[in-house]
A and B are shown apart, each in its own frame.
Chain A
Amino acid sequence: MNEALHERVRRIRERSLVRTWEYRQREYSKGVWFRLRRVLVDAAQAWIIDELDADRLEAGGHFPLRIGRELAPPKRIFFLTEEELAATSDRRRVPVRLCSKLLQARTLALVEHEGRGGEK
Chain B
Amino acid sequence: MDFRTRLLRTLRAVAPVLREPGILIAGSEVPNLLEPDARSTLVVSEDLDIAIPVERHADVKARLREVRGLAPSQEEPSVWLPQSADLIEVNFIGADMRSERAGETYVLEDSELPLLVFPNLSLLRPGKLLMIGDLAVPLPRPAGLLLEKLLTDRGGEKGDRDLLVALAVLLVCEPHDLEELEKLYLGLSAEFRYIARSGLSTLSLLEPRVQMPDPTLHRAFIAKLMARLERAERDR
Q: Is the CB of A97 within 8 A of B227?
A: no
Residues of chain B having any CB pair with chain A under 8 Å: 75-78, 105-107, 109, 114-116, 153, 191, 194-195, 197-198, 200-202, 204-207, 216, 219-220, 222-224, 226-227
Interface size class of chain A, counting residues whose CB lies under 8 Å from the partner chain: 20 to 34
A19–B195 Cα gap in the complex (Å)? 8
Per a CB cutoff under 8 Å, which of A20, A41, A97 touches B223? A41
Bound-state CA distance A3–B86 (Å) is 30
Collect the chain A residues with CB atoms within 8 Å of residue B153's CB. 12, 15-16, 19
Stretch of A58-66, A67-75, A111-119 lying at the B interface: A111-119
Report the minimal beta-carbon distance from B103 to chain A, rounded to whole angstroms.
11
Cβ contact within 8 Å between B109 and A2: yes
Evaluate contact between B76 and A4: CB separation under 8 angstroms: yes
The answer on a CB contact under 8 Å between A4 and B105 is: no
* A2 and B114 within 8 A (CB): yes
Whether the pair B204, A37 counts as a contact (CB closer than 8 A) is yes
Question: In the bound complex, do residue B109 and residue A37 qualify as a contact, i.e. CB atoms below 8 Å apart?
Answer: no
Given contacts A2-B77, A16-B105, contact A97 B220 (CB under 8 A): no
A: which residues have CB within 8 A of B? 1-2, 4-6, 8-9, 12-13, 15-16, 19-20, 23, 26, 34, 37-38, 40-42, 44, 95-98, 113-116, 119-120
Query: In the complex, A51 Cα to B93 Cα: how many Å?
Result: 54
Chain A residue contacts of B197, Cβ below 8 A: 34, 38
Top 5 closest A-B pairs, CB basis?
A: A37-B201, A113-B220, A97-B205, A2-B114, A23-B191
A65 to B207, CA, bound (A): 25
Asked if A42 and B223 make an inter-chain contact with CB atoms under 8 angstroms apart, the answer reads yes
Contacts of A119 in B (CB 8 A): 224, 227
Q: Which residues of A contact B105 (CB under 8 A)?
A: 9, 12-13, 16
User: Could you pull out 6 A-B pairs where Cβ atoms are within 8 angstroms?
Assistant: A5-B78, A9-B106, A16-B105, A37-B198, A38-B226, A41-B204
**Nearest A-chain residue to B191, judged by Cβ:** A23
